[in-house]
Chains A and B, each alone.
Chain A
Amino acid sequence: MAATEKRPVTEAGPFNGLLTWIDQRFPLMESWRSHLSEYHAPKNFNFWYYFGSLALFVLVLQIVTGIFLTMNYKPDAAQAFASVEYIMREVPAGWWIRYLHSTGASFFFICVYLHMFRGLLYGSYRKPRELVWIFGMLIFLCLMAEAFFGYLLPWGQMSYWGAQVIVNLFGAIPLIGPDLAIWIRGDYVVSDATLNRFFAFHVIAVPLALLALVGAHILALHEVGSNNPDGCEIKKATDPHTGIPLDSVPFHPYYTVKDTFGVTVFLIVFSIVVFFVPEGGGYFLEANNFIAADPLKTPLHIAPVWYFTPYYSILRATTDEFVLWVLTPGVIAFAGLIIWSVKNTVLRAAVAAVAIVLLVGFFTLDAKVWGVVLMGVSVMIFFLLPWLDRCPVKSIRYKGPITKAAIAVFVVAFFVLGYLGTLAVTSGRTVAAQVGTAVYFMFFFLMPWWSKMDKCKPEPHRVTGK
């Protein structure tokens, strides 16, 4: 569009001229309108809908504090640990920046987990928002990578041995594993080379991917429009003259002021941790990480930070007995269930083939390999949610007792696994983690059946009051 054809900006007072000049060269007003002042969001967002904007807020906080930390941090095995203490003691307000960053890491996961749980409650991943969900899951994966790389940087005992354990997991992959682990570390053990590359990933590679994915997540969302706690599509009831959904409000100013309030509440909770309990009871900053990394002293008890512990529990729960008594009958039963439910012969044959390959694998490969596989699947399975959920309605408000019970049991299993993952292994805890693991996977793998069986109420045509 030529510069002269666009209407001048009229509502910005003294900035009219400047904004007109920019707008004739850049889609400024169009972007502002389509993403903020004329992005029509459902008016019935509740408490759960704060966590998307809060996650974005924490992302910005992590980037800004990260920049300042980078100014004084030394990615060098001989200096890293002391440079963090230098930041804590001698850099003006360094302790504040560092605690904002370390607490921010945990709060990032709290916000993202609650944001994902919101999606689970209200079916936000369902058609037409599958791609929004997939971008979101990619953000989650990047976030896990970002947290993992970042956790090595303080170069404490937990940093070091946690990285050692996780990189060794890749070593369990048949054939290429050991070489892959060396390639990731850049050395035979976690060392200065590893620290340097993890620093590079943490401060530039992963953040770039994160930012791009967050942009894609929001663009995809704005293309299809937001879901809401009732799960009905607000675009189905529009004003006949303007075409604006009747149950919507413009994102700006309505949700910008509401989210400002949300951010303030968040900051209060966040500040209580940052200023009064920055260790978060040992969950946010682990005591062992105040001992400098020592490649010759393996700590008795190595645990990842709390946000990884559910998956870590699944890894540890996969013992030889678990493969034999749970995975083997589980795969046979699941393959049978699929073959019994689908009519397509090709699909049936494919399922049978995959099941046979798995069963052969169970009896030839080490249980450790299957532990790594299960841990990977436990995260990746979220990608499939849009296609696993076969309920006719989106929101839990109109779903039946089966869904409600299934989600409740899943949440309990997730917390139990998470808690067990922070503790040392005992035989009793392993049994508990194995039960949790079985429940965790049954929730997802059986979802196509239980979600279809559920007795749902009809979805309303318009959003309800609360």
Chain B
Amino acid sequence: MRALVLLLALAAPVAFAAEESVRLDAAPIDPRDVASLQAGARTFVNYCLNCHSAGMMRYHKLTEIGLTEQQIKDNLLFTAEKVGELMNVALTRKDAKDWLGTVPPDLSVIARARGPDWLYTYLRSFYRDRESATGWNNMVYERVAMPHVLWMLSGQQVQVERRFKNMEQAEAIGRQQKNAWKIDTLTPEQAGKGGEQFVLKTIRTEVPGSLSQLEYDVVVRDLVNFMTWMSEPNQLERKRSGYVVLLVLLVLLVFAYLLYKEFWKDVH
């Protein structure tokens, strides 16, 4: 038993030595915010739904975020004829492979695979990188194949590295960042004489886009809000019906309990 505790105690620090990755920002989304969902739908259709499909999503489902069929038809139907169609794109898998090197994933349920926080941080973490094929790289997704499609809005960022002697100091500066940041730890040999082992990586805007950083964050927030809603369009109905079901079950619980006690009162 003591050996077990000892071994577990020895194992613990190894088990929890964290592999360094970007701290994800919490996406400030709200699936009940219809205006935000509609704005997100517009961004999605204009910027994403050219290479990426959302092939399990029907345009008609957008009526559930407050749009009329006419509004959908007038503003959002670029790649389809009827509102009853699925959000597919003209790009075939083979062409995508030839032209882009990889098939852009379908985004219908991507928010459930990646999580809204990941998407929110990812879309705000592109930076210029001469060495990549597209000229762009990403803090969250190293060497991602997708270029920064929203760059005209966000402007162009570059990665900045700062070195620190201790982790706490690096983290303190990191937490003040409005965008993604991460800390790489160097070996003492790599750090050299100064002993500055901790490299804080952040991004800085070099060429401003058409939006301020705050406005851009709102655009991404709305987009992620929409994608999260789209990944499970019935989520609000699910929660609403959940309350009703629980209420009914609680009433049933009272009667089930009373019935049980009534039958058992003579059993000693």
Contacts and interface: CB of A to CB of B under 8 A. Distances in A.
Interface in B166-218: none
Main secondary structure of the interface of A (DSSP, over half): helix
Given A432-B7, A432-B15, A268 B246 contact: yes
B234 A432 contact: no
B196 to A, nearest CB: 27
Interface string A87-122: 011100001100100000000000000000000000
A279 B245 CA distance: 19
B105 A291 contact: yes
A196 interface: no
B104 interface: no
Most buried by A among B61, B106, B260: B260
Contacts of A431: 7, 10-11, 14
A86 B106 CA distance: 15
Contacts of A82: 55-56
B234 to A, nearest CB: 5
Nearest to A413: B4
Interface string B1-16: 1001001101111110
Interface in B227-243: 231-234, 238-239, 241-243
A264 B252 contact: yes
A95 B234 CA distance: 8
Contact of B14 (A254, A292, A427, A435): A427
B15 A426 contact: yes
Given A288-B113, A290-B112, A257 B263 contact: yes
A427 B112 CA distance: 31
A276 B239 contact: yes
A218 interface: no
Most buried by B among A253, A264, A288: A264
A423 B260 CA distance: 43
A400 B19 CA distance: 45
B253 interface: yes
A249 B260 CA distance: 13
Nearest to A272: B246
Interface residues of A, number: 46
Contacts of A429: 11, 14-15
A54 to B, nearest CB: 14
B256 A287 contact: no
B113 A291 contact: yes
A57 interface: no
A435 B4 contact: yes
B184 to A, nearest CB: 19
B109 interface: yes
Nearest to B14: A428
B130 interface: no
A90 B239 contact: no
Contacts of B242: 271-272, 274-276
Contacts of A88: 232, 234
Interface in A207-266: 249, 253-254, 257-258, 260-261, 264-265
Given A85-B108, A261-B259, 10 more contacts: A86-B56, A99-B238, A257-B260, A260-B260, A261-B257, A427-B14, A431-B10, A435-B4, A435-B7, A439-B4
Interface of B: 1, 4, 7-8, 10-15, 17, 55-58, 61, 105-106, 108-110, 112-115, 231-234, 238-239, 241-243, 245-246, 249-250, 252-253, 256-257, 259-260, 263-264, 267-268
Interface of A: 43, 82, 85-86, 88-90, 95-96, 99, 249, 253-254, 257-258, 260-261, 264-265, 267-268, 271-272, 274-276, 278-279, 287-288, 290-292, 405, 409, 416, 423, 426-429, 431-432, 435, 439, 465
18 contacts: A85-B56, A85-B108, A88-B232, A260-B260, A261-B259, A264-B249, A268-B250, A275-B241, A278-B238, A288-B113, A291-B105, A405-B1, A426-B15, A431-B14, A432-B11, A435-B4, A439-B4, A465-B268
